Structure 1
Amino acid sequence: MPVILFYSSVSGSLELKKNQERIMSVLTSKKIPFKAVDIAQNSEDKDLMRQKAGNPTALPPQLCNGDVYCGDFDAFENAIEMEQLEEFLKL
């Protein structure tokens, strides 16, 4: 299963946009295939993201590997810092 990145193309938050771009940049540079799912285009995708995250108020970006929830941006950054990105993404 590919890594799934839940993100939002519509946001007033500059920090959120930067976080999403950082994740996409890292995944692309490491040649990790991923599917980007824009929750702003479909409320069902937002509901799915929140269900997988186990948090009814979860905000993007959120990462999953298939049906397995990996974590949010902070967990992603921590995995990079600890050099455990592949374990974090369950690859």
Structure 2
Amino acid sequence: MSNTQGQVPITIAADTLTHAGAGTAQRSLAVQAGCILLRHDPARFWRLTVTVARTDEDFGRELALVCSSRHIREVILGRLPACQGELSPVVHSNPA
């Protein structure tokens, strides 16, 4: 498979993120795509994924759950430059 053909699934996954807010089925696909992109190249896809998570809280919450396993978290953080970790989504808490 050529390098261009290898990028097609990544391009499709990135495009899928833009449909996160279109409904439950689309959000589910976007969550899986976001997790794939973050495991594949977190330095490249962190900002895009965080932007979508900030605009769609349900997507952000579901993505956090999917990526919360120790293995996936270690893969993402191991590949993510330290400066980009500072771009993490803001966690909203309800005041008591």
Q: Which has the higher contact order (CA 8 A, sep 6+)?
A: 1
TM-score, normalised to structure 1's length?
0.28
With the length of structure 2 as denominator, give the TM-score of the two structures. Answer: 0.26
Larger Rg computed on CA atoms: 2
